[in-house]
Amino acid sequence: MEKSVEQLALVKEKIAASEQEAKRPAGSVTLVAVSKTFEASEIRPVIEAGQRVFGENRVQEAQGKWPALKQEFPDLELHLIGPLQSNKAREAVALFDVIETVDREKIAAELAKEIARQAKAPKLYVQVNTGSEPQKAGIEPKEAVAFVKRCRELHNLAIEGLMCIPPADENPGPHFALLEKLAREANVGKLSMGMSGDYELAVAFGATSVRVGSAIFGSR
């Protein structure tokens, strides 16, 4: 059996145990398997083992492998979890089912235009830079609630979640707590938080989806 398939089963077990511990309903957390930098041939065994939700960082890389896989497995759900450039909005709307990285006015406007043009509406999340790191994408926490409101009212975008990537060298707990608080204030129901090193903790803080790559596919 492929190592990745064994690892997938282990991650799913840990998510289920974390849900139970947090007294959350079984199955309330979606596993997004992060397949960036892995070839279609490496992803296929994980799909065949029943995983249906995947995350990619780059529009161009995803275009090289997912259209054929989606044709073969029509129930796949593909998330864009890396920064979106405004000139890639057209391709992103065409390919992705969920775009988790809406973080500025220009992107919101471009997405609104493409959603209207293509009559295709991916689910949208706003990325929050909870650690206010200058090198990292995401809207500042203090601007997040107002930005969600503008996306909805000005651009007519149905924002349904928030996403964050806590600073690598900090305890992620306070960042998860902050995202959960902002989600309540902005009236959004989905929380994408937690990665290979901290997804079990994220479940305890209310994550509705966790993005796990290396714990399934191994290091890149």
The pair of three-digit structure tokens given for residue 62, joined into one six-digit string: 């995803």
pLDDT at 85: 95
Tens-digit pLDDT profile for residues 152-174: 999 999 999 999 999 999 999 99
Distance CA 121, CA 96 (A): 9
pLDDT single digits (tens) 128-159: 999 999 999 999 999 999 999 999 999 999 99
Say how many residues make up the chain: 220
CA-only gyration radius of the chain, Å: 17
pLDDT in tens, 94-104: 999 999 999 99
**Is-contact 93 111, C-beta < 8 A?**
yes
- Record the pTM: 0.97
